[in-house]
Amino acid sequence: MEPEGPGGAEARTTTPPPDRDQDPSTAPVDASSSWQPGIPSVREFLPSLLFGAALPIGAYFIVRRHVQTDTAALIVAGCFSVAWILIQAVRQRTVDVVGVAVLVGFVVGVLTSTLLGGNAYVLKVRDGFFTLLFGVACILTLYTHDRPAFFYVSRYLSAGKDPVKVSAFDRLHDVPLGRHTFRTLSVVWGVGLVIEASSRLTLAELLPTGTFIAVSPFITGSVIGGLFAFTAVYTKRTRFWSAASPVHPDSGSGDPGGATPPLPPPP
């Protein structure tokens, strides 16, 4: 057997398992952890896009031939989105923040439309209205809160309710690179979502309901796709993806001061 070279024993030394009694908020981030925060795969959203968006659109055009008003057709079409959310809630035993927003928007839209005598415009813009509110919140909370609204949605979508992941996500925001990144993305996504929502709110008034429903997904897809593209390019230039683990390679140690923040998906 050949003698081990200098540092050979240390090179094979494995990292000891974390203390089970250690507070998650102070536990070091394991560079070999299987959790790699970043932009979720498009495949994760395909079922929601199909059953939550494409199916209601198709349902509207089918139902519209059999009802007298756009309002009635929009309500029936919206029920498909609600049914999908409820089915997912039963299967997963939880309702995510996006599902809650859709449910609240549908209920508020139906009630408001009814109070206004069957106004179809309210139902057409219910999603855009909530998008507008979130876009404005992304910008305003930069000045009113230490952590912008964009950060909390990103943390929820990236870390869920896992206390260790949430704690690691929180620490990443506290380093200069993380704070700057979240502020930059908050501004870009906030402005982008305001533009997207404003354009839909305007077109909903100008275009017939059928035309608007057909055009609206392309507007949303173009804007959201552009925001994702910016996020990918921006994070690549700032070397986010060069850090395969939450510990930055230039930090020289496990100090979270060199941590690289995970990248959030949109609302």
Say how far apart CA 267 and CA 248 lie, in whole Å. 27
What are 147-160's pLDDT values in tens digits? Answer: 998 888 878 877 77
The answer to whether the CB of 81 falls within 8 A of the CB of 127 is: no
* Neighbour count for residue 61 (Cβ, 10 Å): 13
Which tops the pLDDT comparison, 111 or 176? 111
Q: Are 237 and 226 in contact (CB under 8 A)?
A: no
List Cα–Cα distances, 161 to 86, 96, 247, in angstroms: 20, 11, 21
Whole-angstrom distance, CA of residue 172 vs CA of residue 150: 14
In the predicted model, is pLDDT for residue 256 greater than 50?
A: no
Say if residue 117's pLDDT is above 70.
yes
53: DSSP letter: I
* pLDDT tens-digit map of 18-47: 444 444 444 444 433 444 455 555 566 666
Angle at 40 between CA 235 and CA 214, to 5 degrees: 105
In sequence order, what DSSP letters do the residues of 223-245 get, joined into one string?
A: HHHHHHHHHHHHHHHTTTTT-SS
Q: How far apart are the first and last CA of the chain?
A: 59
Q: How far is CA 160 from the centre of its chain?
A: 11
Q: Does 203 have pLDDT greater than 90?
A: yes
Would you state the pLDDT for residue 161? Answer: 77
Give the per-residue pLDDT at 29. Answer: 42
